[in-house]
Amino acid sequence: MAGFQLGSAIGLTLSPILMSQGGVFGPFVIFGLSGFLWVLVWISATSSTPDRHNQISKYELEYITNKTQKSSSVENKSKTTKVIPPFRRLLSKLPTWSLIVANSMHSWGFFVILSWMPIYFNSVYHVDLRHAAWFSAVPWSVMAVMGYLAGIWSDMLIQSGTSVTLTRKIMQSIGFIGPGIALVGLTMAKSPSIASAWLTLAVGLKSFSHCGFLVNLQEIAPQYSGVLHGLSNTAGTFAAILGTVGAGFFVELVGSFQGFLLLTSLLYFISAIFYNLFSTGERVNFDEPGISILHNT
């Protein structure tokens, strides 16, 4: 996931420069061409199976093979899964809705900050857009590093005996409550440097969500992880659109961007409570009807 945030940081930093040199279409052309270059690298660096990869090490191949053999029973069970997933049963379980709510809030906060922070720094703190881009790019670099550290910590918690359920709830709580508090601090910042610090804290702590709901999708139902990811991502996309567009209408009607940040903060707190109440790190049976039994820690 670090590449996702680093891409945002690079894009925010380069866009003003590209626009000043090549006009408003400059970033679109350069980033579009970069996409074609990425495809060439992707095609040359991927293979259908690990043993066919030209650059894989012997250690990595043995590691993957051993892991595959240990999970063969799960894979064999997955092969008997119906072609059409049981959408009604998936949506009847509260752990599914905890993932949908978490993904929606994560996307809402991510794209609101990504889209509006350069304008926010320019309009509130009167920072030149070229510097505003730098202000809003630094947090994404911090998010990439924090996400890596959060991943190490979550694995250490599980290896030390902490249940998967509790670990996911700890990570997700930090990933939502942390940004919620930081956004409140951002609304009260009197200088661009203090505001940038709060923004960096908010975005950096968001990365803990990657060790919360994002991996939780695969834990509660490995055989339906793709479907669950699609469902929650669809909700997240709608939330991102609603938040990004809604921010503009909110500022136009109310005349205060701080008010929208406080609303986002409140939604973070509510989503954290919902996830902690209804999420689980254990397998959920989606193949039989009935209300799921939540395994609390």
What are the structural domain ranges in the chain? 18-42, 92-278
- CA–CA–CA angle 124, 179, 280 (5° rounding): 155
| Measured distance CA(233)–CA(5) in Å, rounded | 17
pLDDT of 82? 56
The pair of structure tokens assigned to 104 is 């929606």
- CA–CA–CA angle 104, 108, 109 (5° rounding): 125
| Measured distance CA(214)–CA(121) in Å, rounded | 30
| Measured distance CA(217)–CA(200) in Å, rounded | 27
pLDDT digits (tens, 9 = 90+) for 49-75: 888 888 889 999 989 888 776 655 555
3-state helix, strand, coil in the chain (%, to 5): 80, 0, 20
Residue 13, by phi and psi: left (phi above 0), alpha (psi -120 to 50) or beta? alpha
pLDDT digits (tens, 9 = 90+) for 171-185: 999 999 999 999 999
pTM score, two decimals? 0.81
Find the mean pLDDT for residues 213-226.
Answer: 91
Cβ neighbors of 295 (< 8 A, separation 6 or more) are: 165, 280, 281, 282
Q: Are 172 and 212 in contact (CB under 8 A)?
A: yes
CATH of the domain spanning 92-278: 1.20.1250.20
